[in-house]
Chains A and B, each alone.
Chain A
Amino acid sequence: MTEHAKVTVGVAAEPERLGLRVWVRALFLRSEQARGYALLSPTLIYMFLVLALPLGLLVTFSFWTQNYLDFDRSFTFTNYIMFFQKPIYPALLWKSIKMSGAVTLATVILAYPMAYFLAFRVKRAKMTWLILITVPFWTSYLLRVFAWKIILGYEGVINSGLKSIGLLENSLEFLLYNPFAVVITLAHAWAAFAILPIYVSLEKIDRSLLEAATDLGDGPMMRFLRVTLPLSSPGVIAASLFVFIPTVGDYVTPSLVGGTTGIMIGNIIQSMFGKANNWPMGGAIAVISMLSIALLICAFLWLIQRTKRLV
């Protein structure tokens, strides 16, 4: 403070500038909001540049049209009308949402016991366990998808394993290149994003509540249903959102393991920006997908609020 005082005295020769300085400083010190935003500003600027700006661009050119190399910049709803006119787009979006729903369900159901074990059973070396869970995520996403190709493949681990112990004559072909393979691969690829939030919310549960439930006569099952599960619901909800939102638009996994039937909306968007060379249409499909997902999430959260109130 004293240093600053000296500086302000030093520039006192310029009263106008001084006034502005003092005013800015006063505003800064008085307003918690200003300080908050100043603290946030690097992140805010970054987010604006890499998130808000491209998103704005995407929305903007979804109202344009493209012919060969140039954008026709006149404002039009053509792309949005096209989306609902052609049955392919809404149906594919709906299929992607269903597939992601299946992925989310599978991931959360598989992740919950793991998180439960970590939170309640592991007493020592918890850090090691956590690191072990994240180990697969040190490799690239693409490598994990390819790993599943190797596991599920025609000459893959499952098929050759079953054949070598004599359970199979010919390789099972239904393991790979269908929606089922997409769901399996995605459920594994996103597992860590489900385990960690559920683990955190389980870890936070006050153990005395569980004791109380036991004292009041609840068996392990009732205790889980009436205490543990409701108290861990924030983690479960967070996990569902973490998994559901990114998987709807995924295109790498379906294009690698989806075969002829496992295609999703992300593949169409990708081809619009690539081969089909129709960025505005791709933009419109992306915007509609985002809005649909946002609406679905809102509905999901609203439903949860309602059920909570009822309970």
Chain B
Amino acid sequence: MSKDNIVNKLAMGKPSRRDLNKGLAAAGLAMVTLPMIPRSARAADQPIIFTWGGYELPGFDPKYIEDHPEGPDFSLFGDEDEAFAKVAAGFTPDIAHPCSAITKKWYDAGLIQPIDTERLSNWGDVFPALKTLDNTVYDGEQYFIPWDWGQTSVTYRTDLVDIDEESFGLLWDERYAGKLAVIDAAGDTAFVAAIYAGIDIYNLSDDDLARLKVVLEEQKPLLRFYTNDLSSVAQGLAAGELVAALTWNDTAVELLGEGLPVKFMEPKEGALNWVCGYVLIKDAPNLDLAYEVLDSRLDPRAGAYLMTEYGYGHSNSKSFELVGPEQLAKIGLPSDPGVLLDKGHFFAYPDRYTDIVRMFEEVKAGF
């Protein structure tokens, strides 16, 4: 049946039922199969990177995109627990992006495989201090490739806050009641409270837990909100709705970039340091390409992008040469993570983490 024929028949309102069905079937089949053709040719063999929102930008994979212009695929998560739960429930990406402390849980659950560092050309340039972090090496095998490191500390408006020395105490300062905010995560906020109050979170007695609760309860009425949405913190600081807030490096760098008078604090108690990185999922479907992605993420260009855009440190020492001391000073990064790791408190999950989380939830709910 020719094309004209169909149009004529349709116009006259009398294509036979059989003709019409044939036409519809053809159209339907075409609709279903068309989108499958390009997709199967493209996406099938790209590795999936399961990472935090914001790390899917092409700037993080310069080398890989040179070799494979289509780039890797991404799946995003909002927090570490969500990521763990999803992979534990059967999701199989190739690479995931937890932090060093929680890697133990991934290892214990049998979700990850050892990484052959000889296959990573940039591994030799990685800071040695980051290669042997707690919870990342098991039986002499590397299960975690350190990538980004930073701090949990206070970002404050230098024009609106009047302090003599930098201290976490600013988050308990009644002069700024209603203009403070903290991160809605026990891993950050309860930890910082423990540092502030001088409580040893790794040897927590019941009394200490009760004491920590009191410290957090004292803070609650002074807060505008608990949040995981750091963009609302950035907006609040920019508007003057907040004068100080618990953040990671990127909020401060973002606001500095906008020309606001803020500072990312170096508290006298020592900031809370953390290192995140990549793990290789046990049954990674695209193992070879996954190694290429890992190597590409360790590339100094990726590192320079991470440091200038987000203000986090990179694990490759060569990235620092690329960024230059002037820029480093501006975003407030030391040129060696070793300096940072020795000075502050390094984040690890305490034994009584579950109790701390429960206590933190109780504080938030007002009990």
The 6 closest A-B pairs by CB, nearest first: A154-B241, A88-B367, A259-B225, A155-B239, A276-B357, A274-B81
Note all chain B residues with C-beta closer than 8 A to A276.
354, 357-358, 361
Q: Give the shortest distance, in Å, between B232 (CB) and chain A (any CB).
A: 7
Note all chain A residues with C-beta closer than 8 A to B227.
255
Q: Give the shortest distance, in Å, between A171 (CB) and chain B (any CB).
A: 7
Question: Do A154 and B366 contact each other (CB < 8 Å), given the known contacts A173-B178, A274-B82?
Answer: no
Question: Do A154 and B108 contact each other (CB < 8 Å), given the known contacts A260-B226, A260-B364, A271-B361?
Answer: no
* Measured CA separation A208–B104 after assembly (Å): 74
Q: A117 on the interface (CB 8 Å rule)? A: no
Q: A48 on the interface (CB 8 Å rule)? A: no
* Measured CA separation A271–B223 after assembly (Å): 20
Q: Are B365 and A277 in contact, CB atoms less than 8 angstroms apart?
A: no
Q: Are A275 and B81 in contact, CB atoms less than 8 angstroms apart?
A: yes
Query: What would be 13 A-B contacts, judged by CB atoms less than 8 Å apart?
Result: A69-B105, A91-B367, A154-B241, A155-B241, A173-B178, A177-B225, A255-B228, A271-B357, A274-B82, A274-B85, A275-B185, A276-B357, A277-B357
* Measured CA separation A273–B361 after assembly (Å): 13
Q: B186 on the interface (CB 8 Å rule)? A: yes
Q: A256 on the interface (CB 8 Å rule)? A: yes
Interface size on A, residues (CB 8 A): 29
B interface residue numbers (CB < 8 A to A): 79, 81-82, 85, 88, 105, 108-109, 178, 184-186, 220-221, 223-229, 232, 235-236, 239-241, 354, 357-358, 361-362, 364-367
A-B contact count (CB 8 A): 73
Q: Give the shortest distance, in Å, between A150 (CB) and chain B (any CB).
A: 10
* Measured CA separation A87–B82 after assembly (Å): 28
Q: Are A149 and B232 in contact, CB atoms less than 8 angstroms apart?
A: yes
Q: Give the shortest distance, in Å, between B155 (CB) and chain A (any CB).
A: 17
Q: Are B81 and A256 in contact, CB atoms less than 8 angstroms apart?
A: no
Q: Give the shortest distance, in Å, between B211 (CB) and chain A (any CB).
A: 19
* Measured CA separation A259–B182 after assembly (Å): 11
Q: Are A273 and B225 in contact, CB atoms less than 8 angstroms apart?
A: no
Who on chain A is nearest to B84 by CB? A277
* Measured CA separation A255–B228 after assembly (Å): 9
Note all chain B residues with C-beta closer than 8 A to A278.
354
Who on chain B is nearest to A265 by CB? B365
Q: Are A88 and B354 in contact, CB atoms less than 8 angstroms apart?
A: no
- A252-287: CB near B (< 8 Å → 1, else 0) gives 000110011101000110010111111000000000
